[in-house]
Every structure is written in C-alpha cells, then in structure tokens.
Chain A
C-alpha cells in the first residue's frame, strides 16, 4: 500500500530466447516457418435433418474458414447425408475445421480425404454458338455431353476432377463463355477404404442394396 512498485521497468526485464509464429507454434528464431494454405477435401457424414447445412455453413462463416465448395446429398442410409467440403487453409486451420465440425451434434463423422480419393465435379458451360463443330470436338475430347444447342449458344456438361474441368473451361474460352455453373466437389475414398469413420452400411444387407462401385 505504498504506491512504490520496485521492479525493473519494461525495458530492463529478462527476455526469453525462442518465439512462436502466428499459429502459436514454436519456431527456430533463425528460420520462421510459415504454413502455406493448402486445399483439403473433407467428407462429413451427417444426420439428414433440417438445419444441418445451416449449422455447418454457420460454423464455417463464423470461424472464417476459407470455403471453396460444399455439396450435400443423401446416402444409402436415408437418415444420413454426406457433405463434401473443400477448404483452403493452413494446416492448423484444417485441423480446427475438422475438430469444430466433429463437435456439431448432428455430425456423425468427419474425415479428410487422401489425394488419391475419387473427386468429381460437374460443370455446365454455355458458350457462343458460332463454331458448333469446334465446340463439339472439345466436348468429345473431354468426354462431355451437349445439353442444348441453338443458333446462338451451345450448352455442355463436363464431369471430372478439378484439373480436367479447369482445362476444359480453358479450352472453351476461345468461343467466348457466356455463363458457367459448377457444382463443387463430390468425393469418396478409393477402394476398400471407408469414407466415413463409422460403418455406414450397418443398416443395409446384401439383399436390400449393394453400395455403388467406386469409380
């Protein structure tokens, strides 16, 4: 109760040697390691009930995860849906996204899919119809399908991995792209490996339904 605070002032205090980076990770003071963002494909199995999508998208927006695409669809088990979420984040960001997702009550399982997982996106492209033969040739080349062809526009559909779709879009640019829509990823893990961390086929028997073949 004297008002005298005897300790050394800020400038004269002991200092530590190491330091952490912005992600709270301890680093070598000489070489500051940075986490480059990378693209991660997360697959979440969720209860198929109202509000789940809002909960998931709300989580992503309020935690500022950088979301690239999000698709939802039902599974063989009618009570569950599968979401494929592509995010671009640093390693700690991806870890957080997974952990936070797992905390949502209707989320049954979350897994990050490997590079070799099967990832597909659908794109519909509407281009100028001045050179129909050329457009058709490119559509053939990318294994696509023509959905609509008129005197002024041609609309095609391509399905594939991101590389193929990007390449196809590049190729169509020469005709002038009028409009485009992409669905975002749908993905499953390859072969025997399960996409979800839980047995999804529990409720199914061999007679009732067979899970679709991969690829």
Chain B
C-alpha cells in the first residue's frame, strides 16, 4: 500500500465529527449559562448528545458533579466501583454505537478505570473517560490522590489530554468525544484539574476540533477494489471472515447482501459475532481457539479470504504460519496499521467496511464458482457440530443452560459475559442472528466484565432483554454492582455458571499442567442466590434439569435483577479447542485429542 493512500481528508473528518445526533439541533441544546469550566464540560457532553454518564464521586471531580446537579437532560448513574462505571459505559457504547461516558475522581478513581479503558482500547469501543485531577500547582508533587493519569493511560487510549484552561476545557471534551467516535473507534480521556473546572469562564464549547493528522478514509481506492473483486470472483474456495469492524461500521446488512448474492460462506471472529445470521445456510459459525471445527477447517483450506474489520488476533489465527496458508487475503480495514500487521494482506482495502462492501458489490462482475466448496463446508458442518454429552440427571451441563435461555429469549436479546469457560459456552451455544447483541471482553479478557456491561446495555436498551452469563470467579469480581441494578430496578438476568472454580484456568491445568489445580478451585464461593437476595434482587438456585425451564421463566418474569446460581458439572471443559499458538485445523474435540496434537 502506498503512503499516499493515507493522505488526510481533513474536510471529511470535520464533516463526520460535527454530525448532529437526532433531536439535538446545533447550539440549542444547552440552555443553562456557562459559569465555570465544569459547566463547559457538561455543555460539551450535552452538545454531543450524551444521555447517560456512569461514575463515582470524589474530591477532584466534584466541580463536574456539581455542574450536573441541576442537569435534567443527562442522567448520571452512580456505580459501586469505577471499574463497574467504565464497563457499563463501554457496553453502552457497544450497544448504541455512540461513545459511552464514564467519570472518576483523580488517583484511585482514575486508576480504577484503567482496566476498562484498556478493554475498550483492545476492542475498539467508543468510550470517553473524564477524570478529576489535583490542581495544576500540585501536579507533580505527589499530592493527595494524585496520579499521572495521562502517563498511565497513554498506551491504552486513542487520545488523552490534560486540560489546561477553563476557557478551553469545553473544546477539549468535545474533541475527545468526537475522536472516540471517528474512524476506528476507541477510548479517549480528558484529565480535569480542579483549578480548570472550578474557575469562572463563560466560554461555550465550540465544534469539535479533530487534528488533521487523524483521517479515516471512507472509500477504498477504486483500482484496488476492482482488483480484489476479480480475485474473489476467480476463487474456488472463498470465505468471508467478518470481524468486529463490520458491526462497528454498521455494515451487517451489506455483508449479508454481499455474501448471499455471491454465495460465499461466512464465519465471524468473536467480536464479529452477530454480524452474520447463524441460522443461514452460508453461516460457518465462529472461528478461532474455541470456534467451531468447521469454521477452522474452512479457514485453513480456503484459497481466498475476504477479511473485514479484523485485527487477526492470535486467539483467532493460532500459529500464523498455518493460518489460511493457501489464501489470497483481501483485508478491509479502516485502520492502516491493521493491514499486514499480523497476516500479510495480498489485497489491502483501506476504508470503512460499509462503504467498501458497497464498492466491492459494484465491482464484482461474477460470483465465484464454488459449488464444490460449499458442499465441502456443509460436510464439515455435519462432521464437526458443536455438541456435548448430556446425562439423565445431575450434574447440569452449562451448554444446556445456555441453549435453554437462548430458546426462551427473543432474537434481539443482548447477551453479556465475563471471561472464562462460561463466556465460551455462551458464545458457542447461543444462536447469533443480530449485530450488537454479544457484549464481552474480547481482546483484554477481563473477568468481571459481564455484569456491569449488562447494566450499561440495559440502560442503553431498556426495552430489550439482557442476560449476563458469568462464571463464579468472574461474578465475584464485580458483583457489588448488584446494588446499582437493584437501585435502578434493571430487569437483567444474571446466570452464574457455577463450577466452584476458575474453570478456564483449571481446564488449561488439566490439558497442559498434568491436572495440578494450583489456585484454581473456589470451593468457598458464596451462594449467589442468597447474595442476590441480600442486595434486594431475586435469587434462584438451579441444580436439576427439571428445574431449568421453570427457573428461566421465573427469572424472566421477575421485573428487576435476578441471579440464577446454576450449579454445573465441575468437570466440564470447553471444546473444540485449538491449543494456544496451534494450527487451527488441528482443533481438539476432547482431552484425548490434545495428546495427539
């Protein structure tokens, strides 16, 4: 790719950045006069169309909270822990597509946000964090509750900024918000010293000013598109690999139309889950370490991969030497740095997935002749279905629990998950048909993400069902947010797939450490149904197959947060599995297979 492909289009950036949100006419939304820096911060958020903020109070951020006191257009949701705030804001951003906003005080408040910011950075989630900071004259003196937040968050933000003046702080926040949303989305942060938010100013925030250097191209180069279209048309064994970028670009419809028109099998990465309808015959399910056997066979034997909005994470590729080794790779991405980072792109298409899919659609003169390949894909689907053993009575199989919830809940249910085996079972055994329904920590793998994310998702989409699958270990990390779910009366179902272990670690110990279960068994977890009741939520204990349907029904019927403590088979492990850094076609279907590969 030539350097010129990245030439700035400052005007385009500007145009996109100032797009008005529906119902937010320019300049009219802010009515209160601006009296100080904090007012300007609040006005900037309001101008951007922010409805919800998630955060925790504290000394250095108090001026901003004070400015929110009489604010009626925006709702602040007080969380139990800043990590809860940032995950909730992150999920809000994933579900709505607009940046979620979280706030924290300086020092410990800001550092408690760090995990969630890193999470958003890995998953390219639109997020803006506002952190209080000690007054400028104390900065650098190890003052009470001082942390170099800019320094700490530099590697995990798309952009961060130390606000220096009350007159500029409104613009700073507008810019950070716009940047979180533009091009490849990601987290931004504005650090707000108390002597910037407190002093008087009447300067209204202006239009966001995004630097010229930041320039998402919309359309890919036409010649490159037609070349790529020819390669796809000529392929014998084409596949489409849809990544999270497809969903971020709202390109799901374009993807479906393209794939169906040209009859190309589609598989998704974990963040791309929901981009394609899994009930369609062209669906090849989910790919990667715990993806389906058939997806991983097709990935390995394809001769032409149209990869869209994926960064070829190692959990997806395994050993790059054996990843799609025969394939011409057409890689569509909005971030030039993703192209040829992990897998060399033979045909790079730099642009927005939605626009480029349209361009590709126009440029395709023929569909690939791939009848035999589609039959082969079908054979693999028959040979390697997702499956598990189901005993007559106890112990309960986690896969069954997920399947039953899937069956009982509507297609547009939002599913969140923590990290571990439960996350993989939820991913594998839910039938994904809609984008923006699968909310989990993909890249960073943050335990405890699922429940606070469900809070953010439910606030974003109050009319939709939200279910959080959590492990016992994961839920322990953020279960204090139950206080928030109860206070806000959020109708969320939390399903704890309780194996009294940090099961994914134990699975690796079984596979690779001779079953030495060091620090992975949790026989001391609380009874989560009782924990729920202590907070004022509904609690259910689920142990037997016969109870599954009735518990699901009762949990769904209950109008408020409920926790289902599902006591599952502690021996159950996640398969298929490609050992870390392995060859995707050598997925193990059982522990016995692991010995063979």
Residues of chain A having any CB pair with chain B under 8 Å:
1-11, 13-26, 47, 51, 54-55, 58-59, 62, 92, 95-96, 98-100, 102-109, 111, 197
Contact B154 A21 (CB under 8 A): no
Contact B211 A20 (CB under 8 A): no
B335 CB within 8 Å of chain A: yes
Contact B320 A100 (CB under 8 A): no
CA separation between A24 and B348, bound complex, in Å? 14
Residue contacts A-B, CB under 8 angstroms, 28 given: A1-B388, A2-B387, A5-B384, A5-B589, A6-B383, A9-B593, A13-B585, A16-B301, A16-B322, A17-B325, A20-B320, A20-B323, A20-B343, A21-B321, A22-B321, A24-B312, A51-B154, A55-B154, A58-B155, A62-B155, A92-B340, A96-B341, A99-B336, A102-B213, A102-B336, A103-B335, A106-B213, A109-B213
Number of residue pairs A-B, CB distance < 8 angstroms: 126
Partner of A24, one of B150, B211, B343, B384: B343
**Residue among A17, A21, A92, A99 facing the most chain B CB atoms (10 A cut-off):** A99
CA separation between A152 and B400, bound complex, in Å? 84
Q: How far is the CB of B131 from chain A (nearest CB, A)?
A: 16
| Neighbouring A residues of B344 by C-beta, 8 Å | 20, 23-26, 92
Q: Digitize B284-297: 1 where CB-to-A-CB distance is under 8 Å, 0 elsewhere.
A: 00000000010001
Mark out the residues of chain B between 223 and 276 whose CB falls within 8 Å of any chain A CB in the assembled complex.
Answer: none
Contact A9 B596 (CB under 8 A): yes
Contact A99 B337 (CB under 8 A): yes
Contact B301 A14 (CB under 8 A): yes
Contact B340 A3 (CB under 8 A): no
Contact B337 A105 (CB under 8 A): no
Contacts A1-B390, A4-B387: A18 and B154 contacting too (C-beta < 8 A)? no
| Neighbouring A residues of B593 by C-beta, 8 Å | 9-10
Other A-B pairs, 16, CB within 8 Å; known A6-B382, A7-B383, A24-B342: A1-B387, A1-B390, A1-B400, A5-B384, A5-B385, A13-B585, A15-B300, A16-B325, A18-B326, A26-B346, A55-B154, A100-B337, A102-B336, A102-B337, A103-B337, A197-B7
CA separation between A121 and B29, bound complex, in Å? 57
| Neighbouring A residues of B327 by C-beta, 8 Å | 26
B514 CB within 8 Å of chain A: no
B508 CB within 8 Å of chain A: no
Contact B325 A22 (CB under 8 A): no
Contact A105 B150 (CB under 8 A): no
Q: How far is the CB of B297 from chain A (nearest CB, A)?
A: 7
Contacts A24-B340, A24-B343: A197 and B3 contacting too (C-beta < 8 A)? yes
CA separation between A66 and B162, bound complex, in Å? 29
| Neighbouring A residues of B25 by C-beta, 8 Å | none
Residue of A nearest to B188 (CB): A105
| Neighbouring A residues of B382 by C-beta, 8 Å | 6
| Neighbouring A residues of B341 by C-beta, 8 Å | 96, 99
CA separation between A22 and B323, bound complex, in Å? 11
CA separation between A99 and B333, bound complex, in Å? 13
| Neighbouring A residues of B597 by C-beta, 8 Å | 10
| Neighbouring A residues of B293 by C-beta, 8 Å | 7
| Neighbouring A residues of B212 by C-beta, 8 Å | 108
Contact A96 B337 (CB under 8 A): yes
Contacts A2-B387, A9-B596, A10-B587: A24 and B320 contacting too (C-beta < 8 A)? yes
| Neighbouring B residues of A55 by C-beta, 8 Å | 154
Mark out the residues of chain B between 580 and 597 whose CB falls within 8 Å of any chain A CB in the assembled complex.
Answer: 585-590, 593, 596-597
Contact B343 A3 (CB under 8 A): no
Mark out the residues of chain B between 1 and 59 whose CB falls within 8 Å of any chain A CB in the assembled complex.
Answer: 3, 6-7
Partner of B150, one of A23, A51, A111: A51
| Neighbouring A residues of B65 by C-beta, 8 Å | none
Contact B326 A17 (CB under 8 A): yes
Contact B388 A108 (CB under 8 A): no
Pick the 8 closest A-B CB pairs, nearest first.
A3-B389, A7-B383, A99-B337, A24-B343, A25-B344, A7-B384, A18-B325, A24-B320
Q: Digitize B393-433: 1 where CB-to-A-CB distance is under 8 Å, 0 elsewhere.
A: 00000001000000000000000000000000000000000
Residue of B nearest to A3 (CB): B389
| Neighbouring B residues of A8 by C-beta, 8 Å | 383
B535 CB within 8 Å of chain A: no
| Neighbouring A residues of B179 by C-beta, 8 Å | 105
